[in-house]
Amino acid sequence: MRRKPSFHPHNDHEAIVMAPLATVTRRDYMLWAFLLGIMSLGLIAFVRQFILGLGVTGMNRPIYWGVYITNFVFFIGLAHSGTFISAILRIAGQEWRKPLTRAAEAITLFSLPFGVASIIVDMGRPDRMLNIIRYGRFQSPLLWDFTAVSLYLFSSVVFFYLSLLPDIALCRDRLTNKPPWQRRMYQILALGWQGRPQQYHRLEKVLDGMAIFMSMLVVTVHTVVSWVFGMTIQPGWHSALIGPFFLIGAIFSGTAAVVIVLAILRRVYNLAEALPINLFNSLRKLLIVFTLGWLYMMVAEFLTIFYGNIPEEMEVFWQKFTGDFSLIFWAMTIFVFVIPLYLMVFHGKDNISVMVTSSVLVNIGMWLERYVVIIPTETRPRLLYELVQGAYTPTLTEWTITLSLFAGLILLYSVFSRFFPIVPLWETAESFEPDPSAEPDRSTRIFGAWSNK
């Protein structure tokens, strides 16, 4: 079937952005093999845990939730990067966001599956997972979670795919020297995209509409994640602030992750021209605001607890400030707040390595934050805090599985970026004048009822 050439808007950076798609290098294969290796180790650890029982972890009574739940919260938080940048900033009309939307959304898309995986890994009976659908009770915060996260995953896929569509068509039309399976993949995924003005018009409209929906999801999803903790009456968790606190943290770590990913993409794929340094400067401003927002939340949360001085709350409070978790707690404060704020404010402008350093620290710190929100509460349960001095040391199984989940995220990301343009070419195009010679080819339309009125 001969196809008439589709219209693609002109983009000066097309050659640079498409360059990474030209070849999969030896180094890529080595990286992928390495990541797959780590993932297989994780799989072995999981199968062993499934056969023997969750006893192979460090969890116990009363620390029923450990690193796995921490990972769950962290991955869902990381996922807020893309939706925040491409949905909220889209509504806010922030045009500077355009080159990094896809890189950010890809983090969303590839983090979510590992958030879900974290939950499955944590279940005592993953084989009974479908009970959640068969016997689901909507009174349970876990079912809210299940609903919110699956809706988020589904919407992110649609949102991501739609904005990718014109660029898949570009791959279909430009990458004609690729192996047949790859050409066929582009052909199918492009859904017969022709680049007609009506199509672009519709696409923009749908993306605008979805952006509103996605922005609401960003707020909802992470609040609901926090409610798994907040809805119990355990000291340290049962706080109305836990939802907003989790949300700020999620957007914070997500945005920091975007900085890291952008810097890597720029370096590895030579995208310096397509991803200019002013992106880092814009992200820097956002991150400074989030750092301060994080401090605000910390003060609001802990000053209220400290001043109120309720005995069981204070048990958990002192666990964090001076007790078993003080090292992690203060390390978190330094990583999330002290160092990044100083670095970003005084040295971050036009300095990518400083921004990356801060962002790595922020993400390590945010993981620690999740840990320090979840575990200390469990070590000082309400009734037994005088008696049960709960302690928790994660085991090798937990670390291996954790590592394999992160390896999976990197693997998906790195494979994706070798097959699809990581900078949205149509959104960053300079000239959007449609070519009048490109008549739509009716035979390739998927939805035949489209009219040209």
Partner 1 sequence: MPNWSMIIDLDKCVACQGCSIACRMENNTPVVSPSESALGRSMLWNDVFPLRSEEEGAIASGQAKFLTRPCMHCEDPPCIKVCPVEATYLDDEGIVRQNYQRCIGCRLCTVACPYGVRYFNWYEPQWSPEFARHITPDKVVGKGSLEGPAVRPKGVVEKCTFCIHRLHKARARSEAEERDFRPADYVPACVQTCTGKARFFGDLDNPNSTVSQLAQSRRAFRLLDEAGTHPKVIYLHEG
- Of 10 and 128, which CB lies nearer to partner 1 in the complex structure? 128
Tell me the residue type at 230: G
Give the residues lining the site for partner 1 (CB under 8 A): 52-55, 58-65, 122-125, 128-129, 131-132, 134-137, 139-143, 146, 228, 231-234, 378, 381-384, 386-388, 390-391
- Of 132 and 412, which CB lies nearer to partner 1 in the complex structure? 132
Minimal distance, residue 406 CB to partner 1, in Å: 23
- Of 135 and 447, which CB lies nearer to partner 1 in the complex structure? 135
- Establish how many alpha carbons lie within 13 A of residue 344's alpha carbon, considering only the half-sphere containing its beta carbon: 30
- Of 4 and 128, which CB lies nearer to partner 1 in the complex structure? 128
The neighbouring-strand residues paired with 431 are: 10
Minimal distance, residue 314 CB to partner 1, in Å: 15
Minimal distance, residue 232 CB to partner 1, in Å: 4
- Of 108 and 377, which CB lies nearer to partner 1 in the complex structure? 377
Minimal distance, residue 53 CB to partner 1, in Å: 4
Q: Are the CB atoms for 122 and 280 separated by under 8 Å?
A: no
Taking CB atoms within 8 Å and a gap of at least 24, the contacts of 152-155 are 152/79, 152/112, 152/217, 152/221, 153/112, 153/113, 153/116, 155/210, 155/213, 155/214, 155/217
Minimal distance, residue 133 CB to partner 1, in Å: 9
Q: 331 is written with which tokens?
A: 């390390």
Q: How far apart are CA 401 and CA 46, in angstroms?
A: 7
Minimal distance, residue 87 CB to partner 1, in Å: 29
Q: How far apart are CA 146 and CA 191, in angstroms?
A: 31
Q: Are the CB atoms for 382 and 233 separated by under 8 Å?
A: yes
Cβ-count burial of 70 within 10 angstroms (0-12 exposed, 13-18 middle, 19+ buried)?
Answer: buried
Minimal distance, residue 426 CB to partner 1, in Å: 42
- Of 52 and 289, which CB lies nearer to partner 1 in the complex structure? 52
Tell me the residue type at 442: R
- Of 137 and 453, which CB lies nearer to partner 1 in the complex structure? 137
Other C-beta atoms closer than 10 Å to the C-beta of 226 total 26
Q: How far apart are CA 356 and CA 339, in angstroms?
A: 12
- Of 61 and 202, which CB lies nearer to partner 1 in the complex structure? 61
Minimal distance, residue 233 CB to partner 1, in Å: 6
Distance of CA 361 to the CA centre of its chain: 17
